Amino acid sequence: MISKKMAKAINAQINREFYSAFLYLAMANDAMDKGFKGASNWFTIQFKEEQEHAMKFAAYLQDQGAKVELAALAAPKTEWKDLLAMFQEALSHEKKVTAWICEINDLAIAEKDYATQNMLRWFIDEQVEEEASATDAIWMLEMSAGSKGALFMADKTLGKRKDD
């Protein structure tokens, strides 16, 4: 059984993961509106992954006999200047998510809650991957600056991302 404080922290993280899903769905929509089908595919897959993250946390709470408490989601914005701005915001959002997960891990350490520390290990590894893939996209888009052909190819590359 986990503490009430831990259940509250994990419920807050469930809300953040669903917000992340919402944010990436908004980016997928805006990328599509701008004619970038590849980037839209990339963000749609990210949208699905974030829901899986939320559900993984929810399953953990239930396994621990704690209540899942869903809360209202903030509305994400609906438009970005360009693809680079979207991925820059995605990276800064992921850095915040990493910090939140580390805070929960700090709490688990303070509470000598070994089960939660183990569960969080997967998320800590996942955050390294999430930050790296947003950074790769930023690098590719920065390299494409000023060239419509290069941007077209970057979008094609983003379109190759597949569901895990």
Neighbouring residues of 110: CB distance < 8 A, sequence distance ≥ 6 = none
Going residue by residue from 84 to 103, which x/- string records binding to ligand FEO, judged by CB under 6 A? ----------x--x------
Which residue's CB is nearer to ligand FEO, number 8 or number 96? 96
CB of 150 to ligand FEO, least distance (A): 27
Residue from 101, 142, 108, 107 nearest 122 by CA = 101
Tell me the residue number closest to ligand FEO, measured at CB: 53
20 part of the interface to ligand FEO, by CB under 6 A: yes
Burial 65-89, CB ≥16 within 10 A → b, else e: ebebeeeeeeebeeebeebbebbbb
In the complex with ligand FEO, the residue whose CB is nearer, 53 or 105, is: 53
- Closer CB to ligand FEO, residue 74 or residue 148? 74
Element (H, E) at 72: none
In 111-164, which ranges are continuous DSSP H helix?
114-143, 148-158
Task: Give the interface with ligand FEO as residue ranges (CB under 6 A).
Answer: 17, 20, 50, 53, 94, 97, 130
